[in-house]
Structure 1
Amino acid sequence: MIPRPGRAGIIAALDTGAVERAEAWAAALAPHVGCLKLGLEFFVAHGPAAVARIARHAPLFLDLKFHDIPNTVAGAVRSACALRPAMLTVHASGGAPMIEAARRAAEAEGGAGRPAILAVTVLTSTDAATLAATGVPADPAAQVLHLARLALDAGADGLVCAPPEVAPLRAAHGPGPLLVVPGVRPAGSARDDQSRVATPAEAAAAGASWLVIGRPITTAPDPAAAAAAIAAEIAA
């Protein structure tokens, strides 16, 4: 499992469908970040072999957000373990049996070096109106706390949550769970499609374990310099 940084670490989100671009980013950013994230766009375009190519540069956060019946998710986790990711994601809304199956599969296939199973609570692009439209009569913060308890009780190692939920989750669950936080934007950056955001320093101070940062790094004129600047902000 991936070690915990002393202060919030940076996960660089390599959100692209191009292998060459992703590998160039990975090589440039590896000295400045603790982990590289690859998601659905890259995986669907190129598959496991290309993921393994990128993962040679730094620990891998494989963000595929599994959500299916428990047996199917367990099989997907077993297959993903061949890539030796540091972290894998499942949707907390898949329920306790699914999360339990993911944890058991990771333990059986990965052993002591198994990936951390992270449960996605409420996507950072989701607001109260979006939840209501899907039949969930709760605001995002309440739904995060509900799904967090379910997921952690089912054996998840940590959670993926938006910046405003970090402090309440730490208050509810203490220092144990990994909290991996997207929606992090340096001061002055565009919010893009994120509804619930914070600066790196704010998210770190609230208790985030890892900060997922994509476009503020990868679209910068010098991605390595942008990552180094964010790391310095967190450490200050």
Structure 2
Amino acid sequence: MPRPLIDLLWRDAPGAPSGGRRGPRPKHSVGEVVDRAVSLADDLGLAGLTVRGLADSLGMTTMSVYTHVGSRDDLLVLMADSAHAQMASTPSSGADWRDRVRTVAEDNLTLLRRHPWLLDVHDPRTALGPGTIAKYDHELHAFDGTAVDDVARDAALSFVLDFVRAAAPRIVRMPDDTVFGEVWEQSAGSLARYLGEDFPLARRVGGAAGEAMGTPYDARRAWEFGLDRVISGLADLDR
């Protein structure tokens, strides 16, 4: 019988219940199962991560995996919390709050680049885990020295992280800028012929942007522009 998810998340905390398992010591710990699942998801994505494949990679039966982690949904929560616990957080003491917010966003983008599958984990139970709570506590300090109350501090952090999750797929999952540039170079002449004199504003703005960027889309430039707007939108935190 697997332990409840909350006990699995806090399995390393002092006084955490062991689950009352009897018999021989299991071949792998919960942590080892979760670590292997994270590695497989990094390589294959969540679509390629199956409990059977995980079991095979560990030399276990599928049922043995379920006795460790309860269910695939529980496994995803454990994986997300593990990734959050191992997230590299840039020290930001002494910096202006705007710089700290930018650092929080960049650190989260780095996390999603390392573990793109996190973009597909939406289970609210991840908030229960020690890794996620430690991450949350660290990131809340970005707003130290501002006039926000606790409720607004939480909302401000959510605003920043929502931007990250919305913008990150373009950077994490889309082809790099050289691919966009090649597509544009190959297709620009034919596109101009098809458009003719239609959509003059799109042609003017698109042409100016494409010339400035050397590509029809620059994910990093879009990220910088959007993050600047997010920080500008939080400017009243100083009041």
TM-score by length of 1: 0.28
Which one has a larger percent helix, Structure 1 or Structure 2? 2
Which has the greater radius of gyration? 2
Which one has a larger percent strand, Structure 1 or Structure 2? 1
